[in-house]
Amino acid sequence: MKFPNLSRVGQLRKHLKSTLNELGVQAKLDTHRTHGELLVYFQNSDGTVFAPVWISVPDMTTDGWEGCELLKGRWSKYEVGHNGWTFYRDLHYISEETLGADSLIALEKIRAALLSAGPVLTGKHPTTTSNQHFMEAAQQLDDRLILYDDVVIECRRENGVESFNFEDPCGRTWRISFEEGKAIIQLDGEEFSTLPWDQSAAIATLVSDEVYDAVVIRDAGLD
């Protein structure tokens, strides 16, 4: 089946409308030529959400899908903290499939690829970090504080600086901010320590050990 009155992007917008809406992306055409080809890609208006699916278009003289390459990347999603933040890791794996002349079949293959890949939130998204060290340190600390049910790790971004913040069982406030390669650890507003931000285990251990010692002292009635 062909759709002679619609461009490729027009076909996607019409026949995959519900899928694109579900993912929160739009079909767009990259007019920057790469080795004489164009790319159809899927992204929202402000670049904070995309679907890791692309269609390489070698022949711009037709509106059919025959000979186009359907590319799909794989990403993993990680939860960061307890207030809905996420980190997405590119697994650097891309599958390829050549589309045929039947546009309806091609569109269904594109739909399946989009649904399988799912949406990816970029570091520009207000509740997503692109800093892997930030994610790893938050997860390591969460694992070490799991015994304290009332500890809620909240991620924030202020003036471009990302941090995670929590109140420990003794009512003290912690802030661990990630800036220029450093993890700056503050306790009740005062600097407690600074470590390289790629030492996630050391960051989590330092903080959790201090929390543990404070809880032991409190429970022993020595504070």
Calculate the average pLDDT of the chain. 92
Q: What angle do CA 48, 51, 57 make, to 5 degrees?
A: 120
Whether 222 shows a pLDDT value over 70: the answer reads: no
Which residue type is seen at 83?
Answer: N
> How far apart, in whole angstroms, are the C-alpha atoms of residue 15 and residue 223?
67
What the block records as the tokens of 24 is: 């929160």
Are 89 and 52 in contact, with CB atoms under 8 Å apart? no
> How far apart, in whole angstroms, are the C-alpha atoms of residue 52 and residue 61?
26
Interval 138-142 mean pLDDT = 96
Tell me which residue of 127, 132, 144 sits closest to 82, measured CA to CA.
127
Task: Provide, for the chain, the percentages of residues in helix, strand and coil under a 3-state DSSP scheme, each rounded to the nearest 5.
Answer: 30, 40, 35
Predicted local distance difference test score (pLDDT) of residue 20: 97
Whether 45 shows a pLDDT value over 60: the answer reads: yes
At 64, the pLDDT band (50, 70, 90 cuts) reads: confident
pTM of the predicted structure, to 2 decimals: 0.86
Whether 30 shows a pLDDT value over 90: the answer reads: no
Are 69 and 96 in contact, with CB atoms under 8 Å apart? yes
Show Cβ contacts of residue 222 under 8 Å, excluding neighbours closer than 6 positions.
Answer: none
